[in-house]
Amino acid sequence: MPEATVLHADLDAFFASVEQRDDPTLRGRPVLVGGGVVLAASYEARAFGVRSAMGGTKARNLCPDAIIVSPRFSAYVEASREVFRIFRDTAPVVEPLSIDEAFLDVRGMERFAGTPSEIATRLRARVRDEVGLPLSIGVATTKHLAKVASNAAKPDGLLVVSPETELSFLHPLPVEALWGVGPATAKRLREHGIITVGQLAGMPVELLCSIAGPAVGRRLHDISHNRDHRRVRSGRGRRSIGSQSALGTRRRSPESIDAIAVSLVDRVSRRLRKSDSAGRTIVLRLRWGDFTRATRSKTLPHPTSSTATILTTLRSLLLTEQESIRRRGLTLLGLSITNLSTTRDLQLELPLEGPTHQALDTTIDAIRDRFGTSTISRARLLNTPTRTSAWLMPDDTPATIDDLFSR
């Protein structure tokens, strides 16, 4: 029987916890990071029903005493770096999932480091003592179950699922507890009377495929039986590079949305070039006024890192959504570049990657590297009142069941 040696470590209410750490007056009080749209909510705020991605007005109605703070992304990045330093000092194999979570493989460490439970206990203590943040950890034989266990351990807890109790732990849980099962998939399952993971596990795989599609149905059947053969892997290549901006709930003009798109493209294309990467697929991420989400994408004939090419493509995707944006409202705009390649291996194509665009991008990057990002700006962003709450997205984090086994 396999041993429970996979750890999933997840910082609790990360952004809000950093704010409470750095400002003692916020400790023990309901804290919301972001006013227009909630980027993070402390557990004191969550007790009132506030959740991340909720509109600020609704959040304040649920929790009138909440303290709203502006996001400080540089502080979050620095805290993440400190935590990941401890992760890598704890286990030989660490697989980052996002800015605030990772898998750790502690196989073979029992003789010199103790049991996985003991390792996890020391890890939580180090993160608390050295970084000042709460960390929840799940321990199991598979990545999927470790992730489910860490969620069950929150806040600030540790849960070890031994091999002999895996299914008895997993099956009573609601289907939403499965990693990657979002609201749409859960709704389809519930419409067919599938409420718990145990009920899901008892369904014929053919029926699940008819409900959720062949690929998703098979994956659901596998994870409901805790069949997950993925290993924890470090040093895996980046799957995408992206950024997004929370827009709040007020209506925005097409010109304002275009300015945000320009800012996102500027940021993402620079990151592409900085990492010597180029991508073929441009992905537009949208969150409507009712906080449901949509994704649109276009794959180019050749990989690109050109700001002009990416912006032209993103604008074409946005153009097709103008009526939906007008009708439904827009609370978040995001951009991801996927199907990445290393530019050293590419033959750049003309005219999209011609010398003029390439020289302009290189020159702007050099100026910003030397004098700072604010020293030069796109003309489209001048005299624009729009303030984008943007951050670098951990785009390799699986967001849906379709992404779950693609690692």
Tell me which residues are annotated as active site. 101
Give CA angle at 236 (120, 127), nearest 5°.
25
Cα–Cα distance, 5 to 117 (Å, whole number) = 9
* Residue in this structure with the two tokens 């900085």, named with its chain if needed: 274
Cα 41 to chain centroid distance, Å, stands at: 16
Q: Is the peptide bond before 351 cis (omega within 30 degrees of 0)?
A: yes
CA distance 282 to 272: 12
* 182/167 Cα distance (integer angstroms): 21
In sign, the C-alpha dihedral spanning 145, 148, 152, 158 is positive
d(CA 224, CA 144): 10
Hey, what's the torsion of the CAs at 181, 88, 273, 310, to 10 degrees?
A: 10
Residue 241 tokens read as 């590079």
Residue 15: strand, helix, or coil: helix
Cα-based torsion angle of the residue sequence 307, 327, 393, 369 in order, rounded to the nearest 10 degrees: 30
Q: Cα separation of 239 and 396, whole Å?
A: 6
Measured CA distances, 57 to 17, 35, 41, 288, 304 (Å): 22, 8, 14, 16, 40
